[in-house]
Structure 1
Amino acid sequence: MPASPRTARALNDRLALRLLQAEGPLTAGQLKQLTGLSRPTVADLVDRLTAAGLIRVVGEAGARRRGPNARLYGIAADRAHLAALDVRTEGVRLVVADLLGAVVAEASAPVDAAESTGVAVERAAGLLERTAERAGAAPLHTVVVGAPGLIDPATGELRDSSGLPEWHRRLVGELRERLPARVIVENETNLAALAERRDGAARDRDTFVLLWLGIGVGAAVVLDGTLRRGASGGAGEIGFLPVPGTGRLPSAKSCDGGFHALVGASAVLELAATHGLAPPGEPGERAADVVRAAVADGADPFLDALADRVALGAAAAAAVLDPGCVVLAGETGRAGGTRLAEGVAARLAALFPLRTEVRAGELGGGAVLRGALLKARDAVQEDLFTA
């Protein structure tokens, strides 16, 4: 059955907007050529999109001649603004961007573990409000919060977790009360996978597993271009995977005896200490620094031992999902680079019969914020471009 005139107009408008986003400013003639639509149809859609405030004249095209030059139309990037937050146990980082995802402001603030929940929430929420206001981006249209922890696929809410700071869960509710914006919360590893697929190591893959190696450990599963969450949102909680070498088993309340105990930041520092590289200490960036230095110095025994450990989790993912590609992301994964990825790939080839490529993530710790920005941009455009 042919589309109704209203549906046809909506499809044409969205096609034109996508082309303007991908190709940059275009003339009506160029839109006609790229869309295959008639001149009157293109003229109508240009009038509609201009009246809706989604596009505007941004210049002229062609050499000057008799009569007016062709007008160049571009997306009105300031039509709506969005924000992306990367919420960690030690603080928050955020960016504010326009409709096209171009960053107009960014900020960060530490959160002391000794601070009360109310103070921590106010610090993060106030930072977002002030940053948006200073950038002239208030009110925001959509905010995406990337956080550790499980997301309930039925409600989209951050699940309660014994290891999750209370202010993380309170922050989302606070933002929803204080802002007129739509506020979306997403697991940090899932956002990293989105970023690596769009702009990073998995840009040519529709099916892959991302292993996040940082302070904590997680995985994101992308199959046939779709992020898989599992029945309860727990797909990818690979830190709980029972593996040899930990001396005990994980429990329902703690992943200390699981894969996390082998490749989490604290475990990486302890492993480095056994190889005389660094004493155990605070996790986080220190672990990534140790791995990065080991790669630069050619500390093969340590890197080989680390690859042995990472390969256990990669092999489990490969055996269950056959993703064809595993991306090592997070601060530690990025620090290990090609050297660690090649080591894991060699061990994985001995553990699993099907070829599985192992790649180093390209975006490192910035992948979460980048993924949140992409998700927010997609959400805003889905709303405005289909209105």
Structure 2
Amino acid sequence: MMTDGTASDRPTAELSAAGVSIWLDDLSRERLRTGNLAELMGSRDVVGVTTNPSIFAKALAQGDAYDEQLRELAGSGAGLDAAVETITTDDVREAADVLRPAYDATDGVDGRVSIEVDPRLAHDTEKTVETAERLWRTVDRPNVLIKIPATVEGLDAITRTLAQGISVNVTLIFSLERYRAVMDAFLAGVEAARDAGHDLSRLASVASFFVSRVDSAVDAALEEVGSDAALALRGRAAVANAQLAFEAYEEVFSSDRWTALAEAGAIPQRPLWASTGVKDPDYPDTLYVTGLVTSGVVNTMPEATLEAFADHGTVDGDTVTGAYDEARSVLQTIEQLDISLAEITQQLEDEGVAKFEDAWTDLLSTIDDGLSAAKDS
């Protein structure tokens, strides 16, 4: 394992210099209280944090960092949903304070922390908007992002939330078609925010385009086909899909519609590469970092991926903008094998929502057990 080194020889510093903002896909009270998050800002060039129900469920299930607060909540008679919201927003608020120097140094571009609306609301536009507003007020930090899934019902919620001057992380994007719909929802929201008199320079958004799960699903389909031609495409769909997402981003954010918003002070909705932990041990453990280097994006990494890149990651220039033709060829060839990317990405969205709902149930169960134990102690 490498030492931290100087900024000039750290792979993470090289990645940052190439225009990729490094965010950590993890948060826990233990990480906050030990100073680990602040340490990663210095040693691993971390400038943001993303969370999800799975991350919080894992944090609550390990150690005793939440015991004192659980006792306080139990003593006050807090209900289960209120306890969940209090615990998670407290962690996000504290992380936002830790990351505030990065927020200030980048004029609000980075230094962001995300918190997700209850995933059980993924198909309920009205309740998603209501929850987003409440989370924004409760965390009460300018550098928070409210995560809203890119379901069909989520699209209008994204627009309506942004229209109120609330910064948004759009999550669970798998297909190019849905990504274009997300960008349209973003533009509509920023236009409404402008018309309502909000300061567009403070309104931030990222679009979380998921990567590794695409390879897992497409690889399974390729292996079912089983031909040499099919097997040669294993591990290529996810990066190609993300590369073409960036091509779509370049198109939308060079349009006249965007230019008018930029002139009013708006900042673009950056692509964020999510699900960047490599799931197939046959692939390089930094595949979804090195293969997606270009300026103006975010890569949110689980700690294992961050440490792998810090140890042996390489930055060999822009690996996205010159690869569009090859990426298109990869996806077209996969489609020619009677593998429907549209069906796969819709299945991944459905599974993604279900997984977060399951994690939320686990989180509720863990906190309920903690409140019960606190009452009995």
TM (norm. structure 2) is 0.29
Higher RCO (C-alpha 8 Å, min separation 6): 2
Which entry has the higher C-alpha Rg, 1 or 2?
1
Larger helix proportion of the pair: 2
Structure with the higher strand share, 1 or 2: 1
